[in-house]
Amino acid sequence: MVKNINLVITDIDGVWTDGGMYYSEEGVEIKKFNTRDGMGVERLRNNNIETIICTSENTNIVKNRAKKLKIKNCFLGIKDKGTFLENFFKKEKIDKKTVAYIGDDLNDLEIITKVGFSACPNDAIELIKTKVDYICENMGGKGAFREFAELILEYKNGKTN
């Protein structure tokens, strides 16, 4: 099942970040990303696996991170991820079994149960942990996405049964 993955979709807050919302005195929002997750995107791309961001947040911070990592599809402000991604799969003729997804909260639940391989950071909510195929050892913002990417690459390269 994991060997057939050719698309990885990721949530951002709680996966690439620790889920915190940081604001300066002036009200400027700041997010901290883990550089290792960026390398995970690059490693996936080098193995012909595209990464897509799908987040309910709608900030330039995420858009800028996606641009820096050369992620072509960055979907912001998506409140109903399940319906949005179902429509995306249909429009792009994507077989859900070839998709991996990583998320951490209730708005990720519907899509987690429909893709070929799913995961969550170690600090995801308990309900998500009961539904995913893999619970990362790392927490959100601490390399969970990179761990997920490396696991997919291990399966694809035949290093894991």
- What confidence category does residue 88 fall into, taking pLDDT thresholds of 50, 70 and 90? very high
Number of domains in the chain: 1
Is residue 14 a part of any domain in this protein? yes
The enclosing domain of 103 has a CATH number of 3.40.50.1000
- What pLDDT shows up at residue 160? 57
**Closest CA relative to residue 101, chosen from 121, 75, 78, 119:** 119
Range of the domain at 24: 2-156
Is residue 53 a part of any domain in this protein? yes
β-strand partners of 70: none
**Closest CA relative to residue 87, chosen from 54, 116, 119:** 54
Is residue 141 a part of any domain in this protein? yes
Is residue 161 a part of any domain in this protein? no
Q: Flag whether the pTM goes above 0.85.
A: yes
Is residue 136 a part of any domain in this protein? yes
Amino acid identity at 59: T
pLDDT in tens, 104-133: 999 999 999 999 999 999 999 999 999 999
Q: What percent of the chain has pLDDT over 70?
A: 98
